[in-house]
Amino acid sequence: MTLSESDVVLEAVGLTKHFPVRKRMRDLFSRTPPSVHAVDDVTFALRRGRVTALVGESGSGKSTVARLLTQLYPRTAGDVRLHGASTKVRGGRAFRSYVRRVQLILQDPFSSIDPRWRIGRSIAESLDAFKIGTRADRKDRVVELLDRVGLDPSFARRRPHELSGGQRQRVGIAAALAPQPRLIVADEPVSALDVSVQAQVLNLLAELQRDLGLAVLFVAHDLSVVQHISHRTAVMYLGKIVETGPTDRVFRDPRHPYTQALLQSIPHPDPERPLMGAPLTGEIPSPISPPSGCRFRTRCPVAIDRCTTDEPEMSPFGPGHTAACHVARAELERSAP
């Protein structure tokens, strides 16, 4: 199926988030106090009926992006457009409409549900907040959502401590679906669950996305999970997106050394399978003072002098496939006829 511009649900343009840090007394009087560069100039689009995975190590900025898109954090710079409409102003009718249309599924199902409330009230919270339907309509909607996520209607009367981790995450999914969003941001929704339960929740998410035609941003660090649920993959390192493209192409022909290293970390049953690059070594640099040039150069096995001074731009490597790497770009130019 060919997607047009009208299929773009949400577009992030130059998305940036810096957190001020005041660690020393002299920083109190500095005109430019140090800050954590959590997200720097990130641009991407999320389309209707498609799952986009955002992957990278802990500390790469994935969860910060999720919270920026759901308006939990104010932006330092950049814009987020829902169906083409800018959301630079917080508050007001347009902001409420945005919050209703973009919903978040959190990582930890044990802390994302109010332990004092019954499950039915947790699911209906957004319905009450946005005044959707009558009281009877909301009650029916809760029953409908419980059924859709594979739980019996009797769960509406239970409390969170009576549910397993997988059941709580299903409740979290039901609560996110309640106000009929256009986009779901799933922030590592299965990482806190047992392996035996992860597949069930992933299958549920894939089924709901397919049936409802939702756009989904799936934040994860486990690439083996991403491969089976996403249509597109964006790889993030130290606040920057370094590679993006159709998931099958990124996995089959990764161009950025960081993507290659991440793919090597996926366990594979074939010991004879050839490696695509050097394994990932070293620690991620401090986001307070990111390296100059390419941010991955301090851990990159193929870095060249240019990587120290020039920040690489995203270059095309195929239909919809781009990567920000001087070395990969040079290899592509040498191999061109």
CATH number of the domain that 102 lies in? 3.40.50.300
71 burial level (CB within 10 Å; 0-12, 13-18, 19+): middle
CB 50 within 8 A of CB 34: no
Integer Cα distance of 214 and 211 in angstroms = 8
Residue 45 Rama label (left phi>0; alpha psi -120 to 50; beta): beta
Cα torsion for 269, 245, 293, 40, to the nearest 10°? Answer: -110
Q: What is the pLDDT of residue 31?
A: 63
- Read off the pLDDT of residues 197-232 as tens digits, 9 standing for 90 and up: 888 889 999 999 999 999 999 999 888 888 888 999
- Read off the pLDDT of residues 90-124 as tens digits, 9 standing for 90 and up: 777 888 889 999 999 988 877 888 899 999 999 99
Query: In this predicted model, which residue has the larger pLDDT, 175 or 6?
Result: 175
Give the number of other Cβ atoms within 10 Å of residue 184's Cβ. 25
Q: What is the pLDDT of residue 314?
A: 96
Q: Are strands 51-55 and 240-246 parallel, antiparallel or unpaired?
A: unpaired
Where residue 147 falls among pLDDT bands split at 50, 70, 90?
very high
The arithmetic mean of pLDDT across residues 29-49, rounded, is 87
Q: Mean pLDDT lowest for which of 60-64, 201-205, 266-270?
A: 266-270
Give the number of other Cβ atoms within 10 Å of residue 268's Cβ. 10
- Going from the C-alpha of 280 to that of each of 127, 149, 221, 284, the distances in angstroms are 46, 38, 14, 10
Tally of domains within the chain = 1
Q: What is the pLDDT of residue 290?
A: 93
Q: Which domain holds residue 328?
A: 5-335
